[in-house]
Amino acid sequence: MSAWCELDLAQAAARVRDGAVSCAELVHACLDRIEALDPQVRAWTTINRDEVLREAAQLDAERARGAWRGILHGVPLGVKDVFYTAGVRTAAGSRLLADFIPRYDAAAVRRLKQAGALVLGKTVTTEFAYLDPAQTRNPWRLEHTPGGSSSGSAAAVAARMCFGALGTQTVGSTIRPAAYCGLVGLKPTYGRISRAGVIPLAEGLDHIGILTRTVTDAALMLQVLAGHDADDPRASSQAVPDYLSGLQSTGRPPRIGVLCGGVFAGADDEVKTHVENVTQRLRRAGAEVNEIDPPQSLPHTAQALAVEVAYEAAVWGRALSDDDRARLGEKIRDLIERGLEIQPAQYEQAERLRDQFRKEARELFGRVELLLAPSTPASAPKGLASTGDPRFIAPWTFAGVPVIGMPMGLDSLGLPLGIQLIGPPFGEDRLLVYGRWCEAVIAFELAPPLAS
């Protein structure tokens, strides 16, 4: 298999720009790797082979004339199969949408293409981005889950089938598969990236996610994706910073808060040991790392989040016929049925708790610059019956604050373990700088055996 696939996204973009590799060569390298590995990994639901090769040839012709579409010119990416893609089936992992072919691209897909990215195809998602497991396997150990719901996106990037991918997160669907697959996952602030053209699960909680191999790669994609969009009424109108400029320097060590009080008591011993090792290394490198008390309302967020997800899923679930609902997977069907029983007063109570938690979370960032926590209680579970445990990730999705996850090592089975760094609302610029600093200290550079 081609060595070009070993490059990260930033390296691949630079090689295209300096003429070391053509766009077509990068696409062929990825397609060859997909052909070799995807029968085992099962990360892709659709490959746009003919279309992406035509587009690569066009981009190479533009490059020969000195024309550049943007910072992702010629870089092959994957797109989770909940994003509309013009002329390409978008099924959201469901039999109900098996024949749905959108007429236009989702806003995020359109922005990637405008920046020169090449969409290789659609990656596997759990049904409607919820908990019913998909067919995808973890490239580190095929008998384990890659996590969900962005299962295919994470597995494809980890197996070096593409240089980055779009995911989504309503509870833990970007940061969890990033942790299980040894990747960087970025969930920006709610509304930082437009959700226009994305099939919803729960619109008040759905975030666009980014899966890459490095923090710099995540910053490149965020630079393209972030910004207001009139087609998404919940998209933020805040100005988009230059996320890339801060990454040019090493940056100063951050002030990091580690939540105490037994918040992460459910983590297994290997996770706890790795977190302690990481915090010691960060301290030795100059970071100020202290334990801080968690927000008082944090223990109540799980129930409130469950109410909101179910209630909002039932908004679109009401439109389904009884026959269609019966064809859904068990977990998404149960979610909708629970949501139909939730009263508006219960939802409003959950929203009040959410506002309180957001306020308390913001107050934490008056004392520290970011929070550090394990991404998951353990490594990826064996078998494909579960997509894993999102409980350590869920509160920060509920709060809508930005989170970047990254690998911190391997457990005794050789499976990745991840940490998450949590920042204040719309603080992605500083979070990326500090994330890059932490990434350099941790220095995790391993690849799945399958991809080696």
User: For residue 264, what pLDDT is reported?
Assistant: 78
User: For residue 9, what pLDDT is reported?
Assistant: 98
The span from the CA of 378 to the CA of 280, in Å, is 20
Nearest CA to 108 out of 59, 58, 174 is that of 174
User: For residue 250, what pLDDT is reported?
Assistant: 67
Active-site residue, selected from the candidate residues 22, 80, 122, 236: 80
Q: What secondary structure does DSSP assign to 345-401, as a single string?
A: HHHHHHHHHHHHHHHHHHHHTTT-SEEEEESSSSSPPBBSS-----TTTHHHHHHT-
Active-site residue, selected from the candidate residues 151, 153, 173, 194: 173
The span from the CA of 47 to the CA of 354, in Å, is 40
User: For residue 340, what pLDDT is reported?
Assistant: 97
Strands (E), 33-163: 44-47, 76-80, 118-123
User: For residue 339, what pLDDT is reported?
Assistant: 98
Residue 187 annotated among the catalytic residues of the structure: no
Average pLDDT per block of 10 residues along the chain, 452 residues long: 91 97 98 98 98 98 96 98 98 97 98 98 98 97 98 98 98 98 98 98 98 98 98 97 87 90 84 97 97 94 98 97 96 98 98 98 94 97 97 97 98 98 97 96 95 78
Q: Which residue has the tokens 């490095």?
A: 214
* Strand ranges of the sheet holding 207-212, from the earlier edge strand across to the other edge: 44-47, 118-123, 76-80, 165-169, 207-212, 184-187, 403-410, 416-422, 370-374, 255-259, 288-292
| DSSP H or E stretch at residue 407 | strand 403-410
Residue 173 annotated among the catalytic residues of the structure: yes
Tokens standing for 331?
């977990």
CATH class of segment(s) 3-257+367-451: alpha beta
Nearest CA to 218 out of 243, 192, 252 is that of 243
Q: Which residue has the tokens 């060590």?
A: 253
In the chain, domain spans: 3-257+367-451, 298-361
Strands (E), 101-228: 118-123, 165-169, 184-187, 207-212
Nearest CA to 395 out of 278, 298, 328 is that of 298
Q: Which residues pair with 257 in a beta bridge?
A: 290, 371
**pTM beyond 0.85:** yes
User: For residue 1, what pLDDT is reported?
Assistant: 60
CB 51 within 8 A of CB 18: no
Nearest CA to 9 out of 168, 182, 159, 216 is that of 216
Residue 80 annotated among the catalytic residues of the structure: yes
End-to-end CA distance of the chain: 9
Active-site residue, selected from the candidate residues 22, 113, 122, 149: 149
